Structure 1
């Protein structure tokens, strides 16, 4: 019998989340962002539940080819474009939309031998300073691309570093508007936070990522609690051992937790080798038999300990939700000093995944 830890994926929640996003950005088309193996959910498991999307956005050629082989005929946007010029042969074969963020990519596309033009997203650096052309270069690059026969439909693309903040798009939007002045161009600007909270950024295409999977782009679940978005992934396990501590007894490596009095704890089959954060502190929320409690002691590779004081009825085999429908992944992440994105993507291959 396998270990009791499992991740379950609620595909109906994924479908509903996409519809909520459509309503939030009703005037725009939707790129469903499925990079990082669909944020750890498994692209091959979930893509069909997003079949009502307008397009998929991702990074890896292998994942783009997988979508084509599974039968997806709609647009696919490669968010970082091609990494080597010889990849353009596959972009042509599989009809992929490329982003362009560097001079060498423009030259490579101009020199490529393609069967048909490919669509291009011109990436502008709006202040995040990762990828993209400086605003003052957008006009000249745009005109340069317009003259290249290999370029099909052209769209201006940018990204926001602080869209979860009420004023987080003000300065970037000024730069974008100045750069795009005089250009009759399609635009794709809005990430998850901008899609939810800044309708003025929606334009032609929005690019929701984390909200598709039911977590908050701000890292605070309360910020999306009224949106109707639901968690897609639930990580569950069981109690496999019980210990009764006396005052002064410790739990786990490093003896981080010390009982103040007699205390009953449960040992759960789940640890950092499954994707649970090793640095989660005492009190990180967990659900045992429907009762909220917290972990105690340092998370081990294969196990973690939970306080059973609030749930004295719990015993061997009692169900434990580590995150999901009741224990929000954002809350686990916030307690652990990280974000829900990281926890989703860190789900280990050894954890069995079931779809509902």
Structure 2
């Protein structure tokens, strides 16, 4: 008997294929690959090195915070890196310059720090100026654009080639008129400016060609998950397949209960399987009864509450499944997006929530 504990299989060939698909969607754009949150749970350094060495390499990486960027530099990653939240303290600016890191500017404090005439950096920084076109999260107000842009252009601490950017908030929904309004506003704000521009996230890449500009910023679709609502993209492949093993099977009589709180009972005689995975591994605690699990080529439903270390599935009265058989929780053959729907969450959260005790297998 061989039992496999919870294991996330990372398929770097799928990652390379997905990158090629992204580039085919926007062939005239440079690619900033988003690696924040441990590369969406896939391994920050691992994914960066795979993308950096691929013959179809990316043009830059995007991370949320400086510690992620420094981890990549420490791992030998030389590709340009952009801090997508910008710097948090003016004391970080010298560190950005020494490590050749680029920064987004989205508020007055960042602008003031870069334009401080007392600040002399070892080299000027490449800046991405972020404009809020309607998402109302990060970004300067459109009426402030000229002030920010001219101030940055005049600063000795800023490279001359500033990238102009915004972020799409509703691009995953083709019926939502907000995206077209955002693109139109961005075009008006930046009209006549000789600068590279960037707006498209994964959903923008997939569905809004007018948002591609000179730079695209794919995240979720690089990892093989469709960014669009209620749509799967069969041109991309999941990079992560989460699996574990059956560690027990037992007969269950009609009317008997399973799991904490007796939240599910069998309506007929059946066989229950126990899979060695739970919320302690990152499997969603709120996955509902009926959430599919793939075992021996067929889907079987989750039954009962998710425990810290185990879930239970209804294998059916005629089950021939045995201890040691592999259970796929999401990935190849079972889209993570579908599991997210059953757990009333989003694929991003499931991928990012994989915990340290999950084994990693890279191919």
**TM-score interval for Structure 1 and Structure 2 normalised by the shorter chain:** over 0.9
Structure 1 runs (4+) deviating above 4 angstroms are none
Aligned to 1:44: 45
Distance in 1 between residues matched to 2:189 and 2:129, nearest whole Å: 12
CA contact (8 A) 1:139 1:180 kept: no
Per-residue deviation, 1:137: 1.0
2:290 to 264, 283, 291: 283
Asked whether the 8 Å contact 1:333–1:340 carries over to 2, the reply is yes
CA distance in 1, matches of 2:115, 2:77: 28
2:158 paired with 1:158 = no
Q: Structure 1 310/168 Cα, relative in aligned 2: closer, same or farther at 3 Å?
A: farther
Structure 2 residue runs of 5 or longer lacking an equivalent are none
Q: Which residue of 2 aligns with 1:234?
A: 241
1:244 corresponds in structure 2 to: 251
Work out the CA distance in 2 between the residues paired with 1:340 and 1:97.
Answer: 28
Shift of 1:169: 1.4
1:327-342 correspondence runs (5 A): 327-342=334-349
Q: Secondary structure at the match of 1:292?
A: strand
Deviation of 1:144 after TM superposition, in Å, equals: 1.3
Note the aligned Cα RMSD (angstroms).
1.4
The answer as to whether partners of 2:271 and 2:317 remain within 8 angstroms in 1 is no
**Structure-2 separation of matches of 1:301 and 1:12:** 32
Of residues 318, 333, 353, the one that matches 1:346 is 353
Equivalence for 2:145: 138
CA 77–234 in structure 1, closer or farther in 2 if over 3 Å, else same: same
Q: Any gaps of 5 or more consecutive residues in structure 1?
A: none
Q: Deviations over 1:303-331 (max 9, x none)?
A: 00011018611011111000110111000
Residues 48 and 77 of structure 2 are in contact (CA less than 8 Å); yes or no, is this contact kept in structure 1?
no
Give distance in 1, aligned partners of 2:228 and 2:38: 21
What is the match of residue 233 of structure 2?
Answer: 224
**Aligned partners of 1:297, 1:218: CA distance in 2, in Å?**
30
TM-score when scaled to structure 1? 0.96
Match among 166, 175, 188 for residue 185 of structure 2 = 175
TM-score for both structures, normalised by structure 2:
0.94
1:87 alignment counterpart: 92
Residues 211-261 of structure 1, C-alpha deviation per residue, up to 9 Å, x if partnerless? 0000121354x3312xx1000001101110112111211111111111111
Q: In the alignment, is residue 32 of structure 1 matched against residue 33 of structure 2?
A: yes
The aligned residue for residue 11 of structure 1 is: 12
* 1:185 to 2:192 alignment: no
